[in-house]
Amino acid sequence: MMLFRFRALITLDPAAGPSAREYASGTRALLVHATRTGEPGADKFFPVTMTWDDEDNPLRPGDGAVVTFTTADREAPAYLAAGQHFDLWGAGSGHGVISRRVYTAAGPS
């Protein structure tokens, strides 16, 4: 199975109620919703794992962070190119923009 990784800048929306959800680094219960690059009418949801450098501190509603998304969906590169805006779905919500696709020494990831 090939995994695709993308760096992104995200902002979590402020909590609407008293029960603010925190996201630990490595959170899997998230979806990224994006439109296909160059085709505004084509959109898709991608299940992702989200990680960031400061693993000891969870993200909270209202926070912004630079994160890495990992997905196994083979269509991800067509939707998640640098500069592409997306919505973040989970127990809370947010939005962001892809900064770049991550490559490893073994080639594209």
Upper half-sphere CA count for residue 73 (Cβ side, 13 Å): 20
Residue 18 is assigned to a structural domain of this protein: no
Domain that holds residue 84: 4-12+25-108
CA angle 64, 70, 71 (to 5 degrees): 125
CATH number at residue 71: 2.40.30.10
pLDDT at residue number 31 = 93
Residue 17 is assigned to a structural domain of this protein: no
Mean pLDDT of the chain: 87
pTM, rounded to two decimals: 0.84
* Stretch 63-72: mean pLDDT: 93
pLDDT at residue number 105 = 56
- What's the structural domain count of the chain? 1
Residue 20 is assigned to a structural domain of this protein: no
7-62 pLDDT tens trace: 999 999 887 666 667 888 988 878 999 998 777 789 999 999 999 988 889 988 88
pLDDT at residue number 46 = 95
User: In sequence order, what are the residues at sequence separation of 6 or more whose Cβ sits closer than 8 angstroms to the Cβ of residue 109?
Assistant: 2, 3, 4, 5, 101, 102, 103
